[in-house]
Amino acid sequence: MIRALKISFKKLCFINSLWIALLGFSLQAQLSDDAQISIITCDAGQDLYSSFGHSAFRVQDSANGINWVYNYGTFDFNTPNFYYKFAKGKLLYSLSVSTFSDFLFTYELENRWVKEQILKLNPQERNNLFRFLENNRKPENRDYKYDFLFDNCATKLPQILKKVLGNNLEYHGEHLKNHLTFRDLIHQNLLTNSWSSFGIDLALGSVIDRKAAPEEYMFLPKYVMLQMQNTTLAANPLVLRERSVLDYSDKRFNYNFGLSPLFWLLLLLLFTLAISYIDLKNGTRSRWLDFFLFLITGSAGLLIFFLWFLTDHSSTANNFNILWAFPFNIAACYFLLRKDRIPKWMGKYILGLLVLIAITLILWIFQIQQFSPLISVVFATLGIRYALLYRYFTNSKPSL
């Protein structure tokens, strides 16, 4: 959904200004009667940032030498504190303008299909929309605060159409037969056994487990395209015609089970089972395994806490993964690394962790939050090790 610019916005502004100057075009100018405005929908890519596809406006007017794409999915890598702002949900995205040929270049390289829906607009409607876009591209207007679900490159298009065309524009939802949650919609674009899917289910909270309203489906580009097919303007179909600009329908993705999260989680489960059996048989405890499990779960818990409470991301709130990925495990792993002087409260702490896993399962069963199916392997791993540690600490005499 994001198509990042690799040039600075200063250069981009200069190029855009030069185009306007050379063409002698202004916001007050009229598009010719043969001009067309269309919606461009692009296929998903293999990288996470492109997994959901892309949407943009295209304006064509051969009489004025215009063949431009208005793209709301761009950001500037040169932004000060880029990664900090990205993590905090404070990174500004922008409207950029490029030629249609430049826009297509990336999709040709990546073998991603591109489809176009030409809108049935009268001259006044076309000019109103064009002027809105031209005004929106000004430096003082082009930036907006990105939100994955409610304000992105895809949602911008129906929002702008509604703002420009008014109440004559109607979005009909009869084509949506199933009422899906935001999480269901996200997973339509991801392999379940992938690090992308596993990471998204870990980072996003229960707020995305509510059913999306028909217009909210349009946070995904493919649903913008479907919605345009089911939209009327003054009781007439909005889309005049559709065409494929690039067609790569037989594209295939490479899949390697040995690199998938399920493979590594199963490996960890088997390793934990083997070590726990040896520990149980010998009445010992493998400190480094305990340290590793508590370090990983504690670190994941701190990340979830950060995304939930310390960022502006709307989709990371109310994330009950924090129950099994317990932040305080990051402190407990220090004590578990010791051979002796184990705190007296450690047995009760381990019992508390088992209770938290049980609560997480209850939340999952009652669909308060949906978790990655792969997390069941994590629960089995932690449950086995926690049960052994509880037995070990309750049968031994802690030093502190």
**Residue 252 forms part of a structural domain:** no
Q: Which of 213, 246, 279 is the last residue of a domain?
A: 246
The 3-class secondary structure across 279-321, one letter per residue, is HHHHCCCCHHHHHHHHHHHHHHHHHHHHHHHCCCCHHHCCCHH
Cβ atoms within 10 Å of 135's Cβ, excluding its own: 12
Tell me the pTM.
0.87
* Residue 28: per-residue pLDDT: 54
**Residue 195 forms part of a structural domain:** yes
**Residue 372 forms part of a structural domain:** yes
**pLDDT tens digit string along 22-60?**
444 444 568 999 999 999 999 998 877 788 999 999 999
Beta-strand relationship, 231-233 and 236-237: antiparallel
CA distance 345 to 400: 9
Query: Is there a single domain that holds both residue 319 and residue 242?
Result: no
The pLDDT of 196-221, averaged and rounded, is 96
Residue numbers of the domain that contains 362: 257-395
**Residue 201 forms part of a structural domain:** yes
Q: How many domains, in total, are found in the chain?
A: 2
Query: Is there a single domain that holds both residue 187 and residue 216?
Result: yes
Q: Which of 212, 246, 280 is the last residue of a domain?
A: 246
Give every CB contact of residue 249 below 8 A, 6+ residues apart in sequence.
113
* Residue 13: per-residue pLDDT: 47
**Residue 375 forms part of a structural domain:** yes
Query: Is there a single domain that holds both residue 282 and residue 158?
Result: no
Query: Is there a single domain that holds both residue 199 and residue 134?
Result: yes
Query: Is there a single domain that holds both residue 148 and residue 288?
Result: no
Q: How far is CA 90 from the centre of its chain?
A: 15
* Residue 339: per-residue pLDDT: 79
% of the chain with per-residue pLDDT over 70? 90
**Residue 104 forms part of a structural domain:** yes
* Residue 365: per-residue pLDDT: 97
Q: How high does pLDDT run on average in the chain?
A: 90
**pLDDT tens digit string along 264-317?**
999 999 999 999 999 999 999 999 999 999 999 999 999 999 999 999 999 999
Q: Is 62 exposed, middle or buried (0-12, 13-18, 19+ CB in 10 A)?
A: exposed
Query: Is there a single domain that holds both residue 241 and residue 270?
Result: no
Query: Is there a single domain that holds both residue 240 and residue 314?
Result: no
* Residue 50: per-residue pLDDT: 82
Whether the predicted pLDDT of 72 surpasses 70:
yes
Nearest alpha carbon to residue 47 among 3, 93, 96: 3
What stretch of H or E contains 156? helix 156-165
Query: Is there a single domain that holds both residue 233 and residue 268?
Result: no
Query: Is there a single domain that holds both residue 207 and residue 282?
Result: no
More confident residue, 395 or 208: 208
